[in-house]
Each structure stands twice: as C-alpha cells, then as structure tokens.
C-alpha cells in the first residue's frame, strides 16, 4: 500500500493586503482624532470658566450717557458668549440702540476684555418739544428735558424733515442775530409753509416761498414797528410786498394799571 503524501499550502496575506488594511486603520484614526479635536476645541471655546468675558472697558467722552448705562445694556444680551464665541457686532448693535449713542466701535482684547469706544450725539435743537436733533439733523429719542439748561431752539415738521428744518434754522439764525433777535422755535407744516416764533414772542408767518426774502423784509421793517411802542403778536409776510401786523390786545385792567404808573 502506497502512502500518498498530501501537501497543504498555507496562504499568507500579501504585503499589498496588509498595506490596504493599515491605510484604512490610519484613515479611521485620523477621522476619530479630528472629531475629538473639534469637540475638545468647541468645548474649550464655549467654556465660560476658561475663556470668560470678565473685563469691559468703555472709552469716549461721555456727557449725557454713563458707563453704567452701557454696561447694563451689554448685560441684557441673551446668551452672552465667551471671548472666542461672542460676536462684537451684536454688542455694537445693542450699544448703538441707546438714544445718546451716535456710533460705537467694539473690539476684543485677549484674553478676556471687550473694549467699547462711544461717540455721543451732540444735541443742537429740540424736536417737537420731546426729542433732540443732532448736528447732522437726525432726530434721536433722548428726552428734551434732559438738556433743558441749554435752551435749545425747538424744531418741528413732517416725518423725515428734520435735516431740512435744521438747515433752514442755520440759514435764518445769523440774519436774525445781526438784528438782535433769536429763534425760539421753527416749524414746517404739512403744506410746506414756514413759521418762526421769536424769543421775544413775535410770530412770523413766512409761507411756502421766498422764505429768506420775506425774513429780510421783516428785519427791514422791524425797527419801524418797534418805534410804535405797541406789543406785536404776529407779522404775516406772505405777500409780494409789505406785511400784515397783528397787535397784542392789552386787557382793560392791565391797561389802566399801566396808565397809572
């Protein structure tokens, strides 16, 4: 009986197959490490204990606004983030919503500081006895009584007319000042007619056209009106030439008292 020897081959993985599995394992490792790194970085950036916004520096010349006003406004922001995550544009928008703020610039300073530079509105007139007008002619909703000591001229007019009314005030004021007069209020009505209340109580109706020519006419005739020594209530200048003058009536009792002095 002849024994048959059976040879069995054992197949070993080829170098190419090991290389393929090794590359896949390395790729999975890189993916896993990247996910972990991203998660760890995000956790670090959003951790208020590690990156807190603990310092607030407010800069700028403040006359009517206080630093506490600004600080409290920033603290009202929902979900105030960390140094890395907080959007400075959000802070800027909240600060610029304050009536007295004309412009705000916000920047971060490592590692925990927010710096806010503020330019205040400069009031040059009142608007409708309620709000204020800045030097650019924009109405800002700070209360007029806050600057009552400045004795600002009151302006009024249709919506979005504040720049036009302020420009008219700047044009009229020097002319009246040279005549020893000042404007208490200037108004533009819906029909585009101008009216001035002088500080001495005289009302001037200028109408819609040729306002500066009519104002000059009043200045020319005003010395003659003063010579009459009668209290003037209004001067209507809505004519091509001349003017209509309304005189104040003195109650009989006051007139009698005045005569006996």
State the alpha helices, DSSP H only, in the chain: 15-45, 67-75, 88-96, 162-178, 211-227, 252-260
pLDDT at 47: 42
At the topology level of CATH, where does 123-260 sit?
Rossmann fold (3.40.50)
User: 8: number of CA atoms within 13 Å, CB side?
Assistant: 1
pLDDT under 70: residue ranges of the chain: 1-30, 32-53, 251-261
Q: Say what the pTM is.
A: 0.75
CB 178 within 8 A of CB 222: no
CATH superfamily of the domain spanning 55-120: membrane protein fhac (3.10.20.310)
Q: How many CB atoms lie within 10 A of CB 96?
A: 16
CA distance 222 to 245: 11
Nearest 5°: CA angle at 34, between 32 and 39? 95
Single out the residue of 50, 48, 56, 54 nearest to residue 73, CA to CA. 56
Per domain, the residue ranges of the chain are 55-120, 123-260
CA distance 153 to 132: 10
Bridge partners (DSSP) of residue 131 are: 127
């Amino acid at each position: 009986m002849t024994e048959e020897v059976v040879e069995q081959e054992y197949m070993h993985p080829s170098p190419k197959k090991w290389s393929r599995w090794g590359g896949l394992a390395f790729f999975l490792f890189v993916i896993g490490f990247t996910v972990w790194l991203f998660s760890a970085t995000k956790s670090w950036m959003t951790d208020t204990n590690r990156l807190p916004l603990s310092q607030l520096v407010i800069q700028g010349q403040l006359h009517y606004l206080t630093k506490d006003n600004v600080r409290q406004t920033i603290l009202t922001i929902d979900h105030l983030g960390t140094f890395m995550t907080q959007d400075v544009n959000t802070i800027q928008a909240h600060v610029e919503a304050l009536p007295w703020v004309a412009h705000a610039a916000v920047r971060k300073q490592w590692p925990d500081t927010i710096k806010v530079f503020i330019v205040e509105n400069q009031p040059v007139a009142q608007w409708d006895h309620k709000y204020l007008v800045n030097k650019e002619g924009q109405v800002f909703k700070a209360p007029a009584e806050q600057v009552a000591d400045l004795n600002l001229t009151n302006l009024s007019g249709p919506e979005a007319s504040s720049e036009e009314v302020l420009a008219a005030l700047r044009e009229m004021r020097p002319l009246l000042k040279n005549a020893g007069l000042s404007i208490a209020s200037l108004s533009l009505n819906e029909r585009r007619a101008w009216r001035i209340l002088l500080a001495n109580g005289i009302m001037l109706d200028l109408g819609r056209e040729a306002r500066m020519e009519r104002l000059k006419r009043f200045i020319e005739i005003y010395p003659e009106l003063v010579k009459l020594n009668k209290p003037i209530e209004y001067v209507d200048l809505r004519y091509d030439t001349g003017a209509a003058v309304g005189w104040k009536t003195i109650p009989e009792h006051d007139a009698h008292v005045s005569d006996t002095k």
